[in-house]
Amino acid sequence: MSMSRFPNSAEDENRTVHVREVGPRDGFQNEPETIPTEDKIRLINALGRAGIKRIEVASFVRPDVIPQLSDGVAVLQGIDVPADVQRMVLVPNSKGLDNALGHRDLFEEIALFVSASETHNKRNINRTVRETMDDVMQMGKRILAEDLSYSAVIATSFGCPFEGAVPMDRVLDLAEQFAESGATEIGFGDTTGMCNPAYAHRFFSAAIERLPGVEITAHFHNTRGQGLANAYAALEAGCRSFESSFGELGGCPVPAGSTGNIATEDLVSMFHEMGVDTGLDLERIIDAARDAQSTLGRKLTSHSIIAGPVIWSPAV
What's the pLDDT tens digit per position in 34-46?
899 999 999 999 9
Of 87, 66, 68, 90, the C-alpha closest to 78 is 87
Parallel, antiparallel or unpaired: strands 18-21 and 215-219? unpaired
pTM of the predicted protein model:
0.93
Parallel, antiparallel or unpaired: strands 109-115 and 86-90? parallel
Average pLDDT value for residue range 219-227:
94
Q: What is the per-residue pLDDT for 70?
A: 95
**Catalytic annotation, pick one of 160, 195, 239, 252:** 252
37 exposed, middle or buried (CB, 10 Å; 0-12, 13-18, 19+)?
Answer: middle
φ, ψ of residue 181 to 5 degrees: the values are -85, 0
- Is the pLDDT score of 9 beyond 70? no
- Is the pLDDT score of 90 beyond 60? yes
Alpha-carbon separation of residue 4 from 13, 23, 100, 259, 272 (angstroms) = 10, 26, 42, 29, 6
Of the chain, the percentage scoring pLDDT greater than 90 comes to: 85
DSSP state of 6: S
- Is the pLDDT score of 68 beyond 60? yes
Other beta carbons within 10 angstroms of residue 145's beta carbon come to 10
For the question of residue 252 being annotated catalytic, the response is: yes
Least confident of 148-157, 208-217, 248-257: 248-257
